[in-house]
């Protein structure tokens, strides 16, 4: 199951690839001048993905001191997980852009 999302407003390209065994996330965000898969040194982000096998997702953002966990209880919720991840990333990125002047990105 492959899902591709594009959000021109924030100049972001989101590619979500989901299989029965793993989920891979690749983000390209020209607006913040960075390309990252799992790790973004520019914003001091550390992304750890322990996916469908353990049904666990965590993202730690040191610069904003944020920590959130999304746990998916059942395999049939992968699609819901994918949509939820998009929503979380959109909100999260919007928050970063909003605070960009504060943190001087």
Domain boundaries, the chain: 2-103
Q: What pLDDT shows up at residue 88? A: 54
- Residue 36 CA from chain centroid, whole number: 10
Q: How many residues does the chain have?
A: 105
Q: Are 72 and 78 in contact (CB under 8 A)?
A: yes
Q: Are 103 and 63 in contact (CB under 8 A)?
A: yes
Mean pLDDT of 15-19: 37
Q: What pLDDT shows up at residue 32? A: 35
Of 101, 88, 18, 9, nearest in space to 47 by CA: 88
| pLDDT tens-place string over residues 52-62 | 333 333 333 33
The pairing of strands 56-61 and 66-71 is antiparallel
* Residue of 89 and 29 predicted with greater confidence: 89
Return d(Cα 10, Cα 105) in angstroms, integer: 15
| pLDDT tens-place string over residues 62-98 | 333 333 333 334 443 444 444 555 555 555 555 555 5
Q: What pLDDT shows up at residue 80? A: 45
Q: Is the pLDDT of residue 14 over 50?
A: no
Burial group, residue 96, by CB count within 10 angstroms (0-12, 13-18, 19+):
buried
């Amino acid at each position: 199951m492959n899902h591709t999302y594009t959000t021109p407003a924030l100049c972001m390209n989101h590619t979500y690839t989901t299989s029965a065994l793993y989920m891979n996330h690749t983000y390209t965000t020209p607006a913040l001048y960075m390309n990252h898969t799992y790790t973004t040194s520019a914003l001091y982000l550390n992304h750890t993905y322990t996916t469908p096998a353990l049904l666990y997702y965590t993202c730690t953002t040191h610069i904003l001191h944020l920590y959130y966990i999304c746990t998916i209880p059942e395999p049939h919720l992968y699609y819901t997980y994918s949509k939820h991840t998009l929503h979380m990333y959109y909100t999260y990125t919007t928050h970063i852009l909003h605070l960009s002047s504060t943190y001087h990105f």
